[in-house]
Amino acid sequence: MAARIPAEERLTNLVVALMATEIGLTKQQILDNVSGYRQRADAGTRSDALEKMFERDKEELRSLGVPIETLGDAADPNDLREARYRIPQAEYDLPADIEFTPAELAVLRLAGSVWSAESASGDAQSGVRKIRALGIDGDEPIIGFAPRITARDAAFAPLQDAIEKSRVVAFEYLKPGEAVPRRRSIRPLALVDYEARWHVFGVDVDIDEDRMFLLSRIVGDVKVTTTTFDPALRDGAGERALAGLERVSAENAALLEVTPGTEAALRLGRRATPAAQGITVPFVDLHILADELASYGPEVRVVEPAALRDAVIARLQAVVDAHAEREEAR
């Protein structure tokens, strides 16, 4: 058996081969000639196994952003037996008219440093490297600021994947106050970090309406289905999602009484407007605000809405119940 050629060597050779051809290479030419396939074919690997390997390699390269063009039979575009493959240089290269200044590189380096999640951080660094490879050295780094984005929800990665591929996803979603999670199917359009929580914005398939879901309330795995949707739905989705959240926030207001000089007065005061009796605080999610208000204990009292007041009372009661005096109390 011939020495095994590592996958990265075969894949890189494939990129080189597909870039060097104008008219494209047939699958057979690739399997016979490109180093990494050639040796396997010579060693007697069956051709259907090699073809499968080629299909996987194409997918792998596409996920790395390498555009692989398939040129079918002009007479019968669906007949792929004689299809030719190539990488069009114009679609591969970073367009020559996109240039970056040293000041822009400094900003991007700061932008690339914000991710704490390993995969997103790696992607950001890899993007910055491409700009550095253009021969640009940045200005002095912007120091003194350490912005951080955390994306520790397990649902984040599969949802991003589904958005890129315009695929419908399904997941179990547990609304606060409901005993069991409900299965939801959505066309995911955008991921939104709002008030330090990740949301997915999309179209709920069952009711065909825009909806926002908190990633932290997704229970179990996100299933990326094979059903696709029109990628045009994604256009401007991020802006629509943000506008939606701001609309909700403008429509929901809590009337609160706070004790001056306390943590509650300080923290809530930052986003409140004065009211005749107390302060008014806008909110997006009643349960998240209730969690925060419970943390202030006796420093805040909810006047209205009643649902928020009840939610805070229920939390405080649960805290009291969970900390009953022990029998062995002194």
| Candidate list 53, 71, 83, 114; residue touching other proteins; CB under 8 A | 114
SS (H, E, C) 112-132: HCCECCHHHHHHHHHHHHHHH
Q: Which of 236, 232, 185 is nearest to 211 (CA)?
A: 185
Residue 125 contacts other proteins per CB under 8 A: yes
- Give the span between the Cα atoms of 86 and 15, in whole angstroms: 9
Residue selected from 77, 102, 127, 177 as contacting other proteins according to rule CB under 8 A = 127
Instruction: Tell me if 234 contacts other proteins by CB under 8 A.
Output: yes
Query: Cα separation of 77 and 8, whole Å?
Result: 31
Residue 36 beta carbon to other proteins: minimum distance, rounded to whole angstroms: 10
CB of 147 to other proteins, least distance (A): 4
> Which residue is listed with tokens 């004689």?
82
**Residue 261 contacts other proteins per CB under 8 A:** yes
User: Residues in contact with other proteins, total (CB under 8 A)?
Assistant: 122
Q: Which of 43, 41, 36, 33 is nearest to 12 (CA)?
A: 36
Q: Which helix (H) or strand (E) segment is 83 a member of?
A: none
Interaction residues for other proteins, span 298-327 (CB under 8 A):
298-301, 309, 312-325
Tell me if 104 contacts other proteins by CB under 8 A: yes
Q: Does 223 bind other proteins (CB under 8 A)?
A: no
The CB-of-90 to other proteins minimum distance in angstroms stands at 10
295 binds other proteins (CB under 8 A): yes
Which of 53, 66, 233, 248 touches other proteins (CB under 8 A)? 66
Determine, following the binding rule CB under 8 A, whether residue 274 of this chain makes contact with other proteins: no
Q: Give the bridge partners for 194, in sequence order.
A: 197
Degrees, nearest 5: CA angle 175-212-312: 40
Alpha-carbon span 105 to 109, nearest angstrom:
6
| Binding window for other proteins (CB under 8 A); candidates: 177-185, 207-215, 222-230, 241-249 | 241-249
**Residue type, position 136, single letter:** I
